[in-house]
């Protein structure tokens, strides 16, 4: 468990619906009167957002995946110290779009950085902090990539460093997230993201309520 608050992360490949579902869960929890902080990685603080720009531009890629992993960790260190940890200490729900599992999947499983090196970077960035719950949104990569491409077209954006990777990369990513969920079943929950938005949102609400809010209500009785 984290400190007083609750730390929930959303993970999965591109276009699986992480930010859509994060916003819906935030609205639901706020309607119940809870303090909710929504954030994302890489980013979440001004310094980490500056690192995000460089990472997603692809300018770090020539330095290799270990250097990329180190920069993701640097962004995460600032994010944890200045936003996530203080919010948890206040007792807030912190909902984060991607976190350490994205580094494990993208830079580790797909990028080939050794697990021991990733573990060192992770420890330096987050210390003992672990998400209380990680929601892994699972979708065949073709569907997610199409969704992400439609979203980009609607916003007039180009594919970033990772969206531009090929189908084999994205299929491997899906497997990597499912493997993480299998290894840590108490922390991770896999949800079928191919369902309509409302059905996915309902599944997530039920999960969060059962895990955090029902238990709280029972303890208060």
Ligand X SMILES: Cc1cn([C@H]2C[C@H](O)[C@@H](COP(=O)(O)OP(=O)(O)O)O2)c(=O)[nH]c1=O
Q: Which residues pair with 188 in a beta bridge?
A: 134
Do the bridges between strand 93-97 and strand 36-40 make them parallel or antiparallel, or are there none, so unpaired? parallel
Rounded to the nearest whole angstrom, what is the least distance from the CB of residue 46 to ligand ADP in the complex?
Answer: 21
Helix (H) or strand (E) holding 39: strand 36-40
Site string for ligand X, 135-174 (x = CB under 6 A): -------------x-------------xx-----------
Gap between the Cα atoms of 107 and 211, Å rounded: 30
In the list 5, 8, 14, 191, the residue contacting ligand X (rule: CB under 6 A) is 14
Instruction: Name which position in 8, 16, 87, 135 contacts ligand ADP (CB under 6 A).
Output: 16
Residue 72 in the binding site for ligand X (CB under 6 A) = yes
Residue 16 marked ligand-binding: yes
Closest CB 218 distance from ligand X, rounded Å: 35
Name which position in 3, 19, 169, 203 contacts ligand ADP (CB under 6 A): 19
> Given phi > 0 = left and psi -120 to 50 = alpha, else beta, which region is 90?
alpha
Reading the block at residue 169, the tokens are: 């990369």
Between CA 124 and CA 112 the distance in angstroms is 20
Cβ proximity of 177 and 12 under 8 Å: yes
Residues that bind ligand ADP (CB under 6 A): 14-20, 147-148, 150-151, 196-197, 200
Binding residues: 12-19
| Interacting residues with ligand X (CB under 6 A) | 14, 18, 40-42, 56, 72, 98, 102-103, 106-107, 148, 162-163
């Amino acid at each position: 468990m984290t400190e007083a608050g609750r730390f929930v992360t959303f993970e999965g490949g591109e276009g699986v619906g992480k930010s859509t579902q994060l916003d819906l869960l935030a609205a639901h929890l706020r309607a119940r009167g809870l303090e909710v902080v929504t954030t994302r990685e890489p980013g979440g603080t001004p310094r980490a957002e500056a690192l995000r720009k460089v990472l997603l531009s692809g300018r770090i890629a020539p330095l290799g995946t270990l250097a990329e992993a180190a920069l993701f960790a640097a962004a995460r260190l600032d994010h944890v110290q200045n936003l996530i940890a203080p919010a948890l200490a206040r007792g807030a729900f912190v909902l984060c779009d991607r976190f350490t599992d994205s580094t494990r999947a993208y830079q580790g499983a797909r990028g080939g950085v050794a697990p021991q090196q990733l573990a060192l970077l992770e420890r330096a960035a987050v210390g003992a902090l672990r998400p209380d719950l990680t929601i892994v949104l699972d979708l065949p990569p073709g569907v997610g990539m199409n969704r992400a491409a439609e979203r980009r077209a609607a916003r007039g954006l180009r594919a970033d460093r990772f969206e531009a990777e090929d189908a084999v990369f994205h299929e491997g990513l899906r497997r990597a997230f499912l493997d993480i969920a299998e290894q840590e079943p108490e922390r991770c929950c896999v949800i079928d993201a191919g369902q309509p938005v409302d059905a996915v949102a309902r599944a997530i609400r039920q999960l969060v309520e059962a895990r955090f809010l029902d238990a709280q209500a029972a303890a208060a009785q």
